Amino acid sequence: GRMAQAIESRGPDAFGAWDDPDAGIALAHRRLAILDLTPAGAQPMMAGGGRYVLAFNGEIYNHLELRRELDCFASINWRGHSDTETFLAGFEAWGVEDTLRRVVGMFAFALWDSEQRVLTLGRDRFGEKPLYYGWVGQGAGRAFAFASELKALRAWPGFGNPVCREALGQYLRFLY
């Protein structure tokens, strides 16, 4: 909750959260509604089959084309008109790698596979949308966290931000 509050300005239209306490995972999303202003576009979004949950930031430019392709591939009961739903249906129908090969857009996402208990974080090919991640907290409060802004990670209790001298040296040497 605090992490999502820290980035409220990125998505002032709505807040959504999903969690699986048994798996120790939670996804939160701040929404800036553009393509689908209805609740059908709310996130995090669960796939119709229940296997996948997606939190997505960005825009899929070819989502209407992908919807037509998905309609030929599988019988999908579309709930709304969002590119998020299209992205999620692609993951469900084609898997992560094949969907990412088909997608054109700018995005960062977190996809939870409840069947395999795998979290996939991804960004578009050019890295237009930010995605920060890492280990935060200490001891029993230590967790892997990710967000679209660093200030969301700072909201984690016990967040530390030490400078890694090795990484800084490599950045100064290679300029990336």
Return all residues near 37 (Cβ < 8 A) that are at least 6 apart.
none
In this prediction, residue 9 has a pLDDT band, given cuts at 50, 70 and 90, of very low
Return all residues near 109 (Cβ < 8 A) that are at least 6 apart.
54, 55, 56, 57, 58, 87, 120, 121, 122, 123
- Determine which of 14-23, 44-53, 116-125, 128-137 has the lowest per-residue pLDDT on average: 14-23
Task: Name the DSSP letter for residue 34.
Answer: S
Contact 8/153 with Cβ under 8 angstroms? no
pLDDT score, position 108: 93
What tokens appear for 31 in the block?
């929404």
Q: Is the pLDDT of residue 65 over 80?
A: yes
pLDDT score, position 7: 43
pLDDT score, position 36: 54
Contact 38/15 with Cβ under 8 angstroms? no
For the whole model, what pTM was predicted? Answer: 0.75
